[in-house]
Structure 1
Amino acid sequence: MAFLSSRRRRSRLALELDDQELGKLLKSLLATTRTGTIATTDLCVAQISRLLERDPGDWDRRAHRMGVLADFLAGSHLPRSWATREPRSADALMLHAWSEVARARAQGGLDDAAGVIDSCLRAAELAPQDPTPWVVVLGAARLERWEQPQVFGVWNEVLARDRWNREAYLNMLGYLTPQEAGSRIQVLEFVDALCARMPANMPCAATELTAQVFQYHSVLDRGGFEALVARNHWSQAMAAQALDRVAHTWVQPGFLRHARALADLNILAYALMAADRRHEARAAFEALGGIATPWPWQAGGDALTEFEQAQRRAAAGA
């Protein structure tokens, strides 16, 4: 089967998704840091700065690049070094703060929450139109379990600058879950309010489907009989309707144009396979072209293995 053989060869985890310039930078950073030269930091900073200076005003693309770099450099001294050496660089301050948030997600808490917030606020002063500093504050607020009035204040700062900011909506969704500071009712109200006014192809389009995957995972996490019948989640009206709304539009060429469109298509392929809608999932895998993301596949084990197994089942069951 041509689909099966070609996609299996090309399947890979790609932090950059289809952002070729970002992918080249990640490879270059890896090669540069291996040299061990005195000028390593200068070279890396110059490369990062050049990329982040491109596409000014494209907040969606900048957030994607900044977030990927923050995750990639979370264990590195480079973001802190850059921010220390260039305290008037908004990009340096944001990357440092976001890398600290990324490190804290793995460790379970921020080492210096006040310092991270201060870096974000200074970046916001230097780049008042950029929503990214406030997005990073949202990430820190989740880790620090801020009260809802404070978090919604930060949320409003993001929306004032970028109405459909993907990262901000997903942060708020996570914050409002019962596992953090909210409830199932608050999640439903948040998603309903978004769906009532959001154009169908905005960067935050995957918020509703992400909420359904969160709910599905919460059922799986209970174990026992509930986990065995967790697939029933996708036959319930709200979950089925969430899939119905996007299954045929997202896979159309050019429908999703935001920077993390392939991440959203991974969510769609995962949810369709969980719902045993294999024919529709096949179209999502074809649109992905073998590019996998760690989440949500890693919920079942090794992300790339889970992705490839689901891809094979979609091909065989179509």
Structure 2
Amino acid sequence: MAFLSSRRGRARLAPELDDAGLGRLLKSLQAATGAGTIATTDLYMAQVSRLLDQGGADWDRRTHRLSVLAHCLSASHGPRAWATREPRNASALVLSAWAQLERGRSLGRPQDAVGIIGSCLRAAELAPKDPTPWVVLLGLSRLERRSQPEVFSLWHEVLTRDRWNRAAYLSMLRFLGPQEMGSRVQVLDFVDAVRAGAPADAPCAATELTAEVLHYQSVLARGGVEALMARTHWTHFSTAQALGRAVCTWGRPGAVRHAAAVADLNLLAYALMAAERRVEARPVFEVINGTVAAWPWSAGGDPVSEFERARIRSGAGV
């Protein structure tokens, strides 16, 4: 991860995080979208293909890039056009399926589940070591409210190819939560298992803190007396321990280097501010240097504004 100086950077929403190559590609695609040419030029396919090929077998980086591209292109017919043009290109098939999944999430249901499954299975045949087709199938199974055995089967397909795949762990965390097909008890059991097995600097290391933030935000969302008392969540012994572990592991520049590390640092800064641990949050904000991940800040309103208010409260860069 490229860490900048401690000089305070302008807060900006950056889905690419600190991936400069992905950031340049997103700007290029946005320009092509504005010109109405994104689905008709070879330049679109060549640029995306080149970036995805650069990572080789770095599955963590590939998953991050495909996830961001799929979200940003979910309203475009470019990914499907690319997959139609190159039906034996695994990257094209996965991006098309993932973009359709993102579109389905926005609608609350997939428009073409059979097509998504078909694209993913063809991609898995073409690139059997690649976990990303299975990450997409895992997401689809959640959207369709599939049974736990079916979902766990897909999760294990991802882990067979990429043991600490961040997207897969966070997907399972949400699936096992009370908002989907599980309960708080299942979440805690899952988190305990991850903490016991995963290295402290693994891409999925934020699973535990993500669970705590999700629970905290769910309490806030209920409103009333519970919301007023939500801050006490961070004083519970196990929660304070989880936050302390994250500070010790991630709080130093260069301590975490996976593709979405900046998003996890945003999570840590948010949790520290929610817990009123401003002194500990200050150096985390300085490391982030203004690169804002939409979640968890979006729960309180505009993510950039929420981030900036929290950063000012922490005293970072002043």
TM-score bracket, normalised by the shorter chain, equals over 0.9
Greater Cα shift, 101-110 or 120-129: 101-110
Aligned counterparts of 1:245 and 1:39: Cα–Cα separation in 2: 46
What is the CA–CA distance in structure 1 between the aligned matches of 2:103 and 2:290, rounded to whole Å?
28
Q: CA deviation at 1:33?
A: 2.9
Residue 212 of structure 1 corresponds to which residue in structure 2? 212
Change (3 A) 1:208 1:39: closer
- The runs of 4+ residues in structure 1 deviating greater than 4 Å are 37-40
Distance 2:124 2:30 in 1: 29
> Is 1:17 matched with 2:24?
no
| Residue equivalent to 1:262 | 262
CA distance in 2, matches of 1:36, 1:164: 39
Cα offset, 1:175, TM superposition: 0.4
Q: CA deviation at 1:115?
A: 1.2
- Distance in 2 between residues matched to 1:214 and 1:134, nearest whole Å: 24
State the secondary structure of the residue aligned to 1:273.
helix
How far has the Cα of 1:34 moved from its partner? 2.9
Partner in structure 2 of residue 154 of structure 1: 154
Q: Which residue of 2 aligns with 1:78?
A: 78
Partner of 1:10, secondary structure, is coil
Give the partner amino acid of 2:263: A
- The aligned amino acid for 1:162 is D
Q: Is the 8 A contact 1:33 1:40 kept in 2?
A: no
Contact 2:164 2:202 in 1 (8 A): yes
- Higher RCO (CA < 8 A, seq sep 6+): 2
The change in CA–CA distance for 1:296 and 1:256 in structure 2 (over 3 A counts) is same
Deviations 1:176-235 (A, max 9, x none): 001101111111111101101111000001000000001101111111011011000000
Task: Map 1:1-318; keep pairs closer than 5 Å.
Answer: 7=8, 10-37=10-37, 40-315=40-315
* Alignment-mate amino acid for residue 231 of structure 1: R
CA distance in 2, matches of 1:190, 1:223: 27
Aligned residue pairs total 313
Aligned-residue identity in percent: 63
In 2, Cα distance between the equivalents of 1:34 and 1:274? 39
The two structures have a TM-score, normalised by structure 2, of: 0.95
In structure 2, the gaps of 5 or more residues are 1-5
Q: CA deviation at 1:36?
A: 3.7
Provide the secondary structure at the position in 1 that maps to 2:128.
coil
Deviation at 1:316, TM superposition (A): 7.3
> Cα distance, 1:300 vs. partner?
0.6
Match of 2:124, as an amino acid? A
For residues 237-256 of structure 1, give each alpha carbon's deviation from its aligned partner in whole angstroms, at most 9, with x where no partner exists.
12111101011320212210
**Structure 1's 316 and 167: CA in aligned 2 closer, same or farther, altered over 3 A?**
closer
Q: Is the 8 A contact 1:32 1:40 kept in 2?
A: no
Equivalents in 2 of 1:12, 1:111: separation in Å? Answer: 33
> Do 2:7 and 2:317's aligned partners in 1 also have CA atoms closer than 8 Å?
no
